[in-house]
Amino acid sequence: MELVSLFITSFLVNNIIFMQFLGVCPFLGVSKKIDTAAGMGIAVIFVIALASVITYIIHHAVLVNLELEYLQTIVFILIIAALVQFVEMFLKKSAPGLYQALGIFLPLITTNCAVLGVAINNIIFEYSFVESLVYSIATSAGFMLAIVLFAGVRDKVDYADLPESLKGSAISLVTAGLMSIAFLGFAGLQL
Amino acid sequence: MNRFEIFKNGITKENPILVQQVGMCATLAITTSLLNGIGMGIAVIAVLTGSNIVISALRKFIPDEVRIPAFIIVIAAFTTMIDLLMHAYTFELYKALGVFIPLIVVNCIILARAEAFASKNSIVDSIIDGLGMGVGYLVAMILLSGIREILGNGTILGFRILPEAYEPMMMAVQPPGAFILLGLLIGVVNYLSRRKKA
């Protein structure tokens, strides 16, 4: 039961984009079309889930035992960069179809702060292994939900008659703000 | 480009937040009060300038193929130093900024300056570029966090400046306020730069 409430909290109530502001750069950058947004979302879920498991194990098995917790940032970013490279090579060899679909998004994910953010939050919130797995999948699913919804809205915004100065990222940010107000409504959920 | 222009470039023409729009996550998240905005701005200036110096000094030794991982390690090292320093000396601010201090390492502006400027220019120019971009970041942080603190609390750095009767606009310090106010701020900057050109 607690795991279900953790899932819903991380998926909707504390949505990674609208409430925690992690991964806003790809959210604004790769949300022009719904299908590319969905591709990015799936790639992010895959990498975040994998990265959380590996960083969690490394943190507890290596860093804590050797009292090297202060190296966390360097170690985690290296793991994520290597992981993304590895996933890219693996998919290229064994699942060319999936690689074609995700290909261009994978290198971008290294600098997606959501990946490092979730890995660090797993440690800060002192989650158990199962909890951190649920948290990372729910959070990244929340990222996908946000980016797909936003891409849908942006399709319409492109046809709106706007003042010249607000076109582009300015109106995108205001749109995201209005969607964020909608997500504030989830804060009332009793779990 | 002379050195003054390199410095000015980062503040006005290529302002990282208001013009290039990179590194938005921390900008949106921690600008709930002016103090947080200034703290984050200074942390980014320190990491950006430090990593620019080291990367510029090593630019002839780093092989081209592995330059991105090498840059990331340098940036991560400086981020860790700032993280430990802030933990030791400014604990309140450290708690307020939370996960966004280690996340400086994936702030695109720092890697972008390493790749676009520090890896091609002399150490002195790179220091000036780092300072200019950093100050540009700080200016944008001060603008956004100042507006949010006035609207959301009626205070500046904790001192009340709007009368007690002012009903604080809670939305401004909540997440939606960050998106909307930054969007409008970018709109104003676009308007001003278009009018200057015309």
Complex ipTM value: 0.86
| CA B76 to the chain's CA centroid | 16
A111 part of contact set with chain B, CB < 8 Å: yes
**Which residues have C-beta within 8 Å of that of residue A103, sequence separation ≥ 6?**
A88
pLDDT for position B124: 92
Judge: A169–B21 Cβ closer than 8 Å, yes or no: yes
d(CA B15, CA A190): 43
Radius of gyration in angstroms for the set of CA atoms belonging to chain B, rounded to a whole number: 18
pLDDT higher than 90, residue A156: no
Domain positions in chain A are: 14-188
Lookup: tokens for B10: 């980062």
- This prediction has a pTM of 0.89
Share the mean pLDDT of chain A.
87
B145 pLDDT tier (thresholds 50, 70, 90): very high
Provide the angle, in degrees to the nearest 10, between the axes of the packed helices B3-11 and B123-153: 30
Residues A30-71 have pLDDT tens digits of 777 888 888 888 888 988 999 999 999 999 999 888 888 888
| % of chain A at pLDDT higher than 90 | 35
Locate A120 and state its tokens: 């660090």
Size of interface A-B (CB pairs under 8 A): 120
Write out pLDDT tens, residues B73-95. 999 999 999 999 999 999 999 99
CB of A22 less than 8 A from some CB of B: yes
A91 or B79, which is more confident? B79
Contact at CB, A117 and B103, closer than 8 angstroms? yes
pLDDT score recorded for residue B69: 84
In sequence order, the 6+-apart residues with CB closer than 8 A to the CB of A116 are: A73, A76, A77, A80, B102, B103, B105, B106
Q: How many CB atoms lie within 10 A of CB A160?
A: 10
pLDDT band at B4; cut points 50, 70, 90: confident
pLDDT recorded at residue B1: 65
pLDDT band at A131 (very low <50, low <70, confident <90, very high): very high
pLDDT of residue A102: 67
Tell me the C-alpha distance between B115 and B123, whole Å: 14
Question: How many residues comprise chain A?
Answer: 191
- Which residues in B have their CB inside 8 Å of a CB on A? 21-26, 28-29, 69, 72-73, 76-77, 79-80, 83-84, 98-99, 102-103, 105-108, 111, 171, 174-180, 182-184, 186-188, 190-191, 194
Per-residue pLDDT at A31: 76
Q: What's the DSSP call for residue A6?
A: H
pLDDT exceeds 80 at position B150? yes
- Which residue of B lies nearest to A74 if distances are taken between CA atoms? B76
For residue A23, the chain B residues in CB contact (below 8 A) are 25
Chain B CB within 8 Å of residue A176 CB = yes
Arithmetic mean of pLDDT over chain B = 89
The DSSP letter of residue A187 is: G
pLDDT of residue A103: 62
| Contacting residues of A for B177, CB less than 8 Å apart | 177
Nearest CA of chain A to the CA of B2: how many Å?
A: 31
The yes-or-no verdict on residue A86 having pLDDT over 80 is yes
Q: Are B136 and B11 in contact (CB under 8 A)?
A: yes
Question: What percent of chain B stands above pLDDT 70?
Answer: 99
Confidence of residue B67 (pLDDT cuts 50, 70, 90): confident
Mean pLDDT of A144-164: 89
How far is residue A30 CA from its own chain's centroid?
A: 13
State how far the alpha carbon of B69 is from the alpha carbons of A48, A85, B6, B114, in Å: 19, 11, 26, 12
